[in-house]
Amino acid sequence: MTNEPSELLGPRPGATPPIRPQEAWTTLAGQAPLVLPDEVDDLGTLMAAVARGEAFVLQGSTCAEPFSERRTVGFVRTLLQMSVILTHAARMPVVKIARLAARHAGPGAAASRRAHSDAAVTMNMIRAVSGENGIADVRQVHGWNRDFVRDAAGGSRFEALSAEIDRGLGFMAAWGVDDRPLRTTKVFASHEPLPDHGMPHLLREGAGEEPQLWALSAHQFRIGEQARRPDDAHLAQAELLANPVCLTIGPTTAPEEAVEYVRRLDPRVQPGRLTLISRMGSDRVRDALPPIVEKVTASGHQVVWSCDPMHGYPHEPAAGSTACSFSRILDEVRGYIDVHRALGTHPGGIHFETTGAQDRTDTEPGGGSGTECGPRLNEQQSVEFAFLVAEILRG
């Protein structure tokens, strides 16, 4: 039997329909899963730690960039460079999430199969470069950061922080520390739910527990602000899944509305099940975010609080450079952190957009993103951004 995902969504938008094993199939039935249920559970455990204030999450995206080996390796390299800086600054583990498939395939089985094939290749590449024989050795990654501090304009500003990381690594080397976590890392995958195209699902029923439904095309699913409507199929689908879920909130989100979404998407009150990504703009974050944080916290749900500072205002390509938005991007991060510190809650994460290239920004001719993306940072700008966020976190 083959059913469209919409058939799993039940009779009315706000309801969570029962899971029916015989209908846990999609238009991609027979395709190999891209992730495993245990990996999804691992991310859930890590996100719970973030919600408790014991970890930090760094989520990055290349937005509309096409799949390619060069882009994927460049993106992972940037993600790793930033995570080393933020791990040292926050003094806690950094959960690394790659937001993939930011632009969905077109309708039809052929397009879905092509999207699945591209995603499989990309996931395999990410696992390879972050694994034992890849590029994830923390000493190698910090070597790239040292190169940035030495060679980049203004990099000397971060020399002291880089030297601190050097001393920490030197201390571990003196003690003969060479644990596997220093040489490898886990990079989890996230994308928007795809109710119109289908996702491979796995239904597994544990003894004495309620059955759970894992969507195995990614570890985490993100609902964007445009899809954040009570009757949207993305929301109804996310209610069904055991995967961790992200929800974007903007400056027009009412505190009561945010609480209602939290109750729908975290019905079992599981720490870290839901991430709220604020996308407010530097001019609104200090006013719009506090009442939302207060209301959600008072509800008893332990969500992960994250910040996307790159989409809170319209991008202006005519300005000729992403540098025109850099100060506003940083100011939104500063406001987001200030709000949480004032309220005693944990500023648990940052979302960034990158071109995945060392020297190209989205504002250059032929950049490929047109008006689909807001400002994006190249590799050097991303590393500088991480150093600047580190300064803010250290206070």
Per-residue pLDDT tens over the stretch 316-360: 444 444 444 788 999 999 999 999 999 999 999 999 998 867 655
d(CA 231, CA 238): 12
The answer as to whether 221 is a domain residue is yes
CATH number for the domain harbouring residue 275: 3.20.20.70
> 306 in a domain, yes or no?
yes
Helix/strand/coil for 17: coil
Domain assignment present for residue 114? The answer is: yes
Q: What would the mean pLDDT of 50-61 be, rounded to a whole number?
A: 96
Amino acid at 221: F
Residue range of the domain that includes 251: 5-136+184-394
Two tokens, residue 374? 């807001």
Q: Which residue has the tokens 């200090």?
A: 286
- For 293, counting Cβ atoms within 10 Å of its Cβ (0-12 exposed, 13-18 middle, 19+ buried), the class is buried
What is the C-alpha separation between 272 and 155, in angstroms, rounded? 35
- Rounded to whole angstroms, the Cα distance separating 145 from 239 reads 40
Name the nearest CA neighbour of 312 among 338, 278, 337: 278
Would you say 281 and 252 are in contact if contact means Cβ atoms under 8 Å apart? Answer: no
pLDDT at 192: 80
Q: How far is CA 366 from the centre of its chain?
A: 26
Residue 144 lies in a domain: no
Predicted local confidence at residue 204, as pLDDT: 55
Q: How confident is the model at residue 217 (pLDDT cuts 50, 70, 90)?
A: confident
Give the model's pLDDT for residue 207.
47
Angle between helices 109-129 and 69-90 (to 10 degrees): 50
Which pair of structure tokens corresponds to residue 282?
Answer: 């530097």
CB 47 within 8 A of CB 58: no
Quote the number of domains for the chain: 1
Position 136, amino acid: A
Cα separations in angstroms, 215 against 64, 219, 242, 314, 389: 23, 8, 8, 33, 33
Q: Which residue has the tokens 């940072």?
A: 377
Is the pLDDT at 126 greater than 90? The verdict is yes
DSSP letter, residue 262 = H
Check pLDDT > 60 for residue 19: no
Provide φ and ψ at 379, rounded to 5°: -60, -45
Q: What burial letters (b/e) apply to 320-342, b meaning 16+ CB within 10 Å?
A: eebeebbebbbbbbbbbbbbbee
Of 299, 270, 276, 136, nearest to 210 by C-alpha is 270
Tokens 């290239």 -> residue: 357
Is residue 141 included in any domain, yes or no?
no
* DSSP annotation string for 125-171: HHHHHTSTTTT--HHHHHHHHHHHHHHSTTGGGGHHHHHHHHHHHHH
Burial annotation 106-118 (CB, 10 A radius, 16+ → b, else e)? eeeeeebeebbeb
CA distance 103 to 106: 9
Statement: residue 205 has pLDDT above 60: no
Do residues 51 and 272 make contact, with C-beta atoms less than 8 angstroms apart?
A: yes
**Given a cut of 50, is residue 291 above it in pLDDT?**
yes
User: What is the model's pLDDT at position 374?
Assistant: 61
C-beta separation of 31 from 113 below 8 A: yes
Q: What length does the chain have?
A: 395
148 domain-assigned: no
Helices (H), 229-322: 233-240, 255-265, 285-298
Q: Select the more confidently predicted residue: 284 or 13.
A: 284
305 within some domain = yes
In a domain, 260, yes or no: yes
pTM of the model: 0.84
